[in-house]
Amino acid sequence: MAGSDAHLARMVGRAYTEISIANANVKRRADITAAEIVGALANGSTAIHGRRQPIHRSARHYLVGATRKTGRALRGGVAAVL
Say if residue 78's pLDDT is above 80.
no
Beta-ladder partners of 46 = 19
User: What sign does the dihedral 27-33-1-44 (CA atoms) show?
Assistant: negative
Alpha carbon separation from 52 to 15, 21, 48, 55 (Å, rounded): 8, 26, 12, 8
Tens of pLDDT, residues 16-57:
888 888 776 677 878 888 999 899 999 999 998 888 778 888
Range list of β-strands (E), 1-82:
15-19, 46-50
